[in-house]
Amino acid sequence: MALGVVALLILVALVAPWIAPYDPDAPDAEAALQAPGWRHWLGTDLYGRDQLSRIIHASRVDLLVALSATAIALSAGIVFGSLSGYRGGWTDQLVMRAVDTVQAFPSFILAMGITAALGNSTANVVVAIAITHVPIYTRLIRGEMLRLREMEYAEAARTVGNRERRVVFYHLLPNCFPPVIVQATLAMGFAILTVAALSFIGLGIQPPASEWGAMTAEGSGYIVSGEWWIFLFPGLAIMVTVLAFNLVGDALRDILDPRMRGV
């Protein structure tokens, strides 16, 4: 069920321009601040822009940012984690101290600092989130590597004369993947929450681009006058998306790591 939701979300993001009923950026003065109805299913904002179309388009931004950040963090984590876990010694010390330092910050606060320093752009948000997520994968892969490198098949791979790089990336790494996939799925949800919160406070993705957190921020001004649909639906989109990724992550963990079932 959750997997279906994730698939649907990705599909919606892919075909956004074809399924959105209106142009997400087109103002329509006649239709400003309309409550949800037949013409505009989720209502319109101050400029008369169709909320549903904006939410559909925003899914591209939110999913793409979260996905790219996760991909970058995962790649960096694979390199650092494998090196650190397989080599040990001072490489391990160096990598782990760096990881400790990054984790000395609450991750959202560090992401705030990085985005503020690099400047507001979508790419910078990706970088900020990727940096705060690297330690998660590095630690995980290091732990797996430490365990796997002592296994007999690793010993065998070394004995027959494989080079280190081949042993690590060809023989050991694929066996690290089950917990990594689970973690990456769960981290996607967290990344989406971070993107949304950053734009909510005005960092990163800038209006008029549609983004769920920024749209919620725009809607927050209308609570005192009762226009609830402007803040409600973008937030709901965030929640459904994060929920779907979390549930898929939990389900994957049950399948890939039965020891954790029911915890």
Task: Write out the residues near other proteins by the rule CB under 8 A.
Answer: 97-98, 100-102, 104-110, 112-114, 116-119, 189, 193, 196-197, 200-203, 213, 216-217, 219-220, 223-224, 226, 228, 231-232, 235, 238-239, 242-243, 246-247, 263
**Residue 74 or 238: which CB sits closer to other proteins?**
238
Buried b (16+ CB within 10 A) or exposed e, 169-178: eebbbeebee
3-class SS at 115?
helix
CB of 104 to other proteins, least distance (A): 5
44 or 216: whose CB is closer to other proteins? 216
Closest approach of other proteins to the CB of residue 231, in Å: 5
- Smallest gap, in angstroms, from Cβ of residue 2 to other proteins? 11
Of residues 118 and 146, the one with the C-beta less far from other proteins: 118
DSSP notation for 13-77: HHTHHHH-SS-TT---GGGTTPPS-SSSTT-B-TT--BHHHHHHHHHHHHHHHHHHHHHHHHHHH
The least distance separating other proteins from the CB of residue 111, rounded to whole angstroms, comes to 9
Q: Which is nearer to other proteins, 45 or 167 (CB)?
A: 45
CA distance 61 to 99: 28
115 vs 149, beta carbon nearer other proteins:
115
Of 42 and 238, the one with the shorter C-beta distance to other proteins is: 238
What's the min distance (Å) between Cβ of 15 and other proteins?
Answer: 25
**Cα–Cα–Cα angle for 14, 20, 21, nearest 5°?**
160
Alpha helices for 104-228 (secondary structure H): 107-118, 122-148, 152-159, 164-166, 173-200, 212-220
**At closest approach, how far in Å is the CB of 238 from other proteins?**
5
